[in-house]
Amino acid sequence: MINTEKSVITEIEYLGMSGWEKFRYNFVSFFKRLPVTFLRFFTVTIPALALRFWRAFLGIFRKIGIAAKNGDWKTRLSFVIMGFGQFTRGQVMRGLFYLLFEVLFILFMVFFGAGQLALFGGPGYTETTEAGWVIGPDGSEIYVQSAVGDNSLLVLLYGILTIFFIIAFVYAWYSNVKAAYFAQEMKEAGQRLPDARDDLHAFADSQYHKTLLAIPLLGLVIFTIFPIVFMVFIAFTNYDMEHMPPAHLFSWVGFENFRAVFGGSLSGGTQFGVVFGKILLWTVIWAFFATFSNYLLGMVVAIMINKKGIKLKKLWRTVLIMTVAVPQFVSLLLMSQMLGDYGIVNSLLQKWGLTSAPIHFLTDSMGAKVTIIVVNMWIGIPYTMLMVSGILMNIPADLYESARIDGASAIRQYFKITLPYVLHVTTPYLISNFVGNLNNFGVIYLLTGGAPVMTAVGTGGAGETDLLITWLYKLIMDKKLYGVASVISILMFLITGIISLVTYNRSASVKNEEDFM
């Protein structure tokens, strides 16, 4: 029903629209498409990906099979001694690299990896013993140190590390076999094999992406993907306050944590579903207001600063930008202190006789929500202002020229030219900002810490101004509910991840990447 014929328009129609219509169209169709896209993600995208992986997988085996069948003894020996094929065919450098990697891998497995993998499953752990005092034969007290056993956290961590290594090795081994067979075929066809210098040259040209991306991607794998995989594994364990290794080891619990999240039965009688729903609602409301308030007001400020005839442009901009220079935790700490019930703002207001009782800027549920959004404007408007300033300078002057000739007033020009143009070009920024605000940890954590707490029974210390992300922080730091928190993280990741994928891949900057300019 949602994706009816009417909402699908042709490229020509789209290009024929005015800026306003384009913006409205993009905006509306984005939200209309969200549910469909979510559905498509699970029914189409994932199966398609799976199929692709399966085909690639089969292809790998076919290639290995061919290499095993048709390969000569040099190629076949490469199956065991990596790099042998290259080595004996004159590609010494390549061969050496493969061999070195194999040796390193074997050493790693022998001295580290194998032991970690053996423990990976869980049973067979040595438990840590408790320290204590025993009475010696002469009646003296002897301290018995605790014998630290296995640490399920480290076993899991190192085990995943080992699996990562194994995957890398399998890939290297496959590419080694493939390359060995390829070299054999080249030789048989009487062609010259690329030597070390050719390889080096390729890495500066045709294979340049490998050179450039090697280190960035290594960092990505170690510092982002690896911890995420680790946390996904944690979602299937009972890692919580009562299972903190090495004193108390955690173990696999299957889908127990997922059941706890969806079934709403956390320990301590927390009404999980209700709290989750309430926080989710506020998270969305917050993201909406935080994004649009910053955006619209930032644009207004930018337009004012950039208006012809306004002097000291650089000064105004710098004043606003000073907020960026002070570390956020400092400025927000000051803010929260100034806005306290008995802080300086309230004392001054009372001193000047404007109010008689303190205004609850941060201690009342509604007041705190408004304050947070307003303070967030203080932080966010400068960024929008800077960006919009840049765009305003880029608006073709002839648009205004012709409008002026038509006798359009400044306000009319603003609504007819400036606003549509800016809205149109910043739609991706706007939506990515929205997604960013869904996960905006800093402002809430530093300003209110989620306070005031919810007054209902069974809310587990969740606050009225808590976002999903700050609530998650509480679940981990205060309650050590690592398992459950991992499940919620995965859910949040899926939601925000899919939204952003849809946004970015639909945005014109990605679609028209090739033909830009």
Partner 1 sequence: MKKILSIIACGALAASSIVGFAACGEEEKGLTVWAPSAQQDSIKQMIEQFKTENPDIKYEINVGVCGEGDGYSMMSTDPQSGADVFAYANDQIVNLYSIGALSPLAPSTVTALKQTDNNTAVESGKLGDNYYGYPYAADNGFFLYYNKSVVSAEDAKDIDKILDACEKAGKQFIFEGGNSWYALSLAYGAGGKYEVTYEGTQVTKVETNLDQCPSGSEYSYGQLGGYELAHIMQRGAFVLTGDDTIIDNALTGGTFGACIRGTWKGDAIKNALGDNYAAGLLPSWTSDLDGKTYQWYSFAGCKLFGVNSYSKHPEDAHKLAAFLSSEKMQEKRFDDNGIGPSNLKVAALDKVQSNIAVATMMKQIADASVIQTAMPSSYWDEVGAFGEAMKSLDLTANPDDLQARIVQLVEALKANGATPAE
Partner 2 sequence: MAKKLRSKKAVERSTNAVIYVILVVISIIWLVPFVFLVLQSLRGEPGATTNYFFPKQWTFDNYIRLFTNMGVSASTGEVVSTGSYNFMNWYGRTLLIAVCVTVIQTMIVLVTSYALSRLRFRMRKPLMNLMLILGMFPGFMSMTAMYFLLQLLGLTQNMSIVGLILVYVGSSCMGYYICKGFFDTIPKSLDEAARIDGASRHTVFFKIILPLSKPIIIYTILTAFMAPWGEYMFASLIANGNADYWNVAVGLRDMVQREQLTAYSDSFQRFCAAAVVVSLPITILFFLLQRYYVEGVTGGSVKG
Rule CB under 8 A: which residues touch partner 1?
Answer: 128, 130-133, 141, 143, 145-146, 148, 241-242, 244, 246-248, 267-270, 337, 340-342, 347, 363, 452-461, 477-480
Specify the residue, 233 or 288, whose C-beta has the smaller distance to partner 1. Answer: 233
Q: Check binding of 338 to partner 2 (CB under 8 A).
A: yes
Question: Segment 344-363, which members bind partner 2 (CB under 8 A)?
Answer: 344, 347-348
CB of 331 to partner 1, least distance (A): 18
Among 100, 220, 241, 281, binds partner 2 (CB under 8 A): 220
Count interface residues toward partner 2 (CB under 8 A): 100
CA–CA distance, 31 with 503 (Å, rounded to integer): 10
Distance CA 168, CA 180 (A): 18
**Residue written as token pair 């450039």:** 212
Q: How far is the CB of 70 from partner 2 (least distance, A)?
A: 25
Cis peptide before 246 (omega within 30 of 0): yes
Residues making up the chain, counted from first to last: 517
* Binding-site member from 5, 11, 141, 513 for partner 2 (CB under 8 A): 513
Convert residues 478-507 into a mask of x (bound to partner 2 by CB under 8 A) and - (unbound): ----x--xx--x--xx--xx--xx--xx--
User: Residue 82 and residue 98: Cα distance in Å, rounded?
Assistant: 5
- Scored b (16 or more CB within 10 A) or e, 169-180 reads beebbeebbbbb
- Number of alpha carbons in the 13 Å side-chain half-sphere of residue 135: 2
Residue written as tokens 């009816």?
4
For partner 2, the binding residues in 111-170 under the rule CB under 8 A are 153-154, 157-158, 161
Of the two residues 344 and 456, which places its CB atom closer to partner 2 in the complex?
Answer: 344
Type of residue numbered 459: T
With residues binned 3-state (H G I as helix, E B as strand, rest as coil), the percentages for the chain, rounded to 5, are 70, 5, 25
Which of 141, 342, 352, 356 is close enough to bind partner 2 by CB under 8 A?
Answer: 342
- When asked if residue 283 is in the footprint of partner 2 (CB under 8 A), the reply is no
Binding residue for partner 2, selected from 34, 359, 399, 508, defined by CB under 8 A: 508
CB of 238 or CB of 486, closer to partner 2: 486
Q: Which residues of 340-364 are buried (b: 16+ CB within 10 A; e: fewer)?
A: beebebbeeeeeeeeeeebbbbbbe
Interaction partner, residue 457 (partner 2, partner 1, none; CB < 5-8 Å by kind):
partner 1
From partner 1, partner 2, none, which one binds at residue 3 (CB under 5 to 8 Å depending on kind)?
none
Query: Minimum distance from CB of 234 to partner 1 (Å)?
Result: 14
Name the one residue in this structure whose structure tokens are 């680790």.
Answer: 230
Residue range at the interface with partner 2 (CB under 8 A); choices 57-65, 183-191, 382-390, 452-460: 382-390
- Measured from the CB atom, the residue of 93 and 253 that comes closer to partner 1 is 253
Q: Residue from 4, 145, 394, 455 that binds partner 2 (CB under 8 A)? A: 394
Q: Which is nearer to partner 2, 144 or 168 (CB)?
A: 168
Q: Closest by alpha carbon to 305, among 416, 392, 380, 378? A: 392
Cα gap 313→224, rounded to integer Å: 41
How far is it, in rounded angstroms, from Cα 248 to Cα 151? 9
- Residue 58 or 142: which CB sits closer to partner 2? 58
Select 85 or 463, whichever has its Cβ closest to partner 1: 463
List all residues 6 or more positions away from 483 whose beta carbon is below 8 Å from its beta carbon: 234, 235, 236, 237, 238, 239, 240, 250, 253, 256, 257
Binding-site partner at residue 222 among partner 1, partner 2, none, CB < 5 to 8 Å by type:
partner 2
- From first CA to last CA, the distance across the chain in angstroms is 37
